[in-house]
Amino acid sequence: MTQLLEGRRSEVVDITVTEQMVRDYLEVIGADMEQLHIPVTMPFIFWHKLETPWLHNAGTLVHGEQAFMTHVPLSIGSTYQCHVEVKRARTKGSMQFLEHVLEVKDGDQLMCESISTIIVIGGGSK
């Protein structure tokens, strides 16, 4: 069942990076707000705008490993096309390890990626 999740992906959603969004994120992570910049970790919050039905009612979700790759820095005021995809799925005992890749694009240009492993404990993914 786990391998059936590989390749599942969300719909593409347009996300506009606003100054307020950046300020809020900097405040939450306790970063210096004197110089307004977009941290490489910020695209992770784009997950909140994406629909991932394979994780609904899947069981207890634990956020595991995470990595970020920036190809081109994001800009305040720009709108990006974002989606998340299950790139790798494996099972160990009663746990599923789902490696997701969040892609942030500007048209055809890949801006950045957020790679996250979500551990599903118990339940069954759909």
- Is residue 41 exposed (0-12), middle (13-18) or buried (19+ Cβ within 10 Å)? middle
**Residue 57 φ then ψ, to 5°:** 55, 30
pLDDT digits (tens, 9 = 90+) for 95-123: 999 999 999 999 999 999 999 999 999 86
- Tell me if the pTM is above 0.85: yes
> Does residue 39 have a pLDDT over 60?
yes
What gap in Å lies between CA 45 and CA 43, rounded to an integer? 5
What gap in Å lies between CA 99 and CA 84, rounded to an integer? 10
Asked whether residue 80 is domain-assigned, the answer is yes
CA-based nearest residue to 112, from 82, 78, 79, 76: 82
Q: The domain containing residue 15 runs over which residues?
A: 2-121
Asked whether residue 126 is domain-assigned, the answer is no
- CATH (domain of 91): 3.10.129.10
Structurally, the chain folds into a number of domains equal to: 1
